[in-house]
Structure 1
Amino acid sequence: MSKKTPSNLIAQNKKARHYFELLEFVEAGIVLTGSEMKSIRLGAVNFRDSYVSFREGEAFLIGLHIAPYANAGYSQHDPDRDRKLLLHAKEIGRLALQIEQKGLSLVPVNMHFTRGKVKVELAVGRGKKMHDHRETLKQAAALRDAQREMSSF
Structure 2
Amino acid sequence: MRSIFGYLREYWLSLNKGVFTVSVSLISLMIFCNYHFSISPYLSKQPFYLSVSGWYFIFLLALSFPYLLYYSFKHFTHQFNSKFVALLLIAPAFFAWKMAANLDFAISSNKADNEYWNQVIYWPFKLAVMFICLGITWQFLIKSSHFMALPQKALKQSLTCLC
TM-score class, shorter: under 0.3
TM-score by length of 2: 0.22
Pick the structure with more helix per residue.
2
Pick the structure with more strand per residue.
1
Answer 1 or 2: higher relative contact order, Cα 8 Å, separation at least 6. Answer: 1
TM-score by length of 1: 0.23
